[in-house]
Amino acid sequence: MTQGARHVAIIMDGNGRWAKKRLLPRVAGHKAGVEAVRTIVRAAGDMGLEALTLYAFSSENWKRPEEEVSDLMGLMKRFILSDLDEFAANDVKLKVIGNWRALAPDVVAMIDNALERTSGNKRTTLAVALNYGAQDELVRAASAAAAAGAITAEAIEAHLDTADMPPLDLLIRTSGEVRLSNFLLWQSAYAELYFTDKLWPDFAPADLQAALDQFARRERRYGGL
């Protein structure tokens, strides 16, 4: 039986191809992608989602050209700073997952401030995956479980970055790629998967609603008949 989704995650793919199609530099695609994030975050709350997790910067993204990494970090900082008031107005709680404390000190301080300012918000949780890799998350969770005395599925789950969030219901990937790319591997065990050819900057609230509508029509069996 399937009910409405509570927690949706999105692999936001296709910014570079969006820019290339328009003969624009890659940073223009990332800027357009940030605008899509704003639109989708607003829509998620209106659609009743309790949690939205976005794959913003993976631990593998450091392999990209230094200039592009710098552009991405700059855009991320401007997004968080400029949208803090909107988060407050829309009762959005910000959460950051991944090894984000390994980022530059000014970024860590900015994130700490944003987390503190939104900690009391309750309508929707926006989890941003920064310097995130699911394999690294599983190593950290298993190590913490072992230190606490037992490596069990329940103990590992209790130490995941998403432990205080609802179970993942639906994972969406844009741009036509059909893989998880080291994102929420544990959490996706029984999540529904939805792939679309839309490039991330073109992904609109109507596309999110279409994914949620398809999710509502699916029958989730969790390994049963």
- For 141-160, what is each residue's pLDDT tens digit? 999 999 999 899 999 999 99
Specify the DSSP element, H or E, that contains 53: strand 51-58
- pTM given for the model: 0.94
CB 13, CB 58: distance < 8 Å: no
The position carrying tokens 């844009």 is 174
Catalytic residues: 13, 61
Residue 167 gets which letter from DSSP?
Answer: P
Domains in the chain, start-ordered, CATH in brackets? 7-132+159-217 (3.40.1180.10)
User: Can you give the pLDDT at residue 224?
Assistant: 61
Backbone φ, ψ for residue 124 (5° rounding): -140, 140
Tokens of 199: 């490039």
Residue 225 — very low, low, confident or very high, per pLDDT cuts 50/70/90? low
Distance between CA atoms of residues 6 and 166, nearest Å? 7
Share the mean pLDDT of the chain.
92
Q: How large is the average pLDDT for residues 180-195?
A: 97
Backbone Cα Rg of the chain: 17
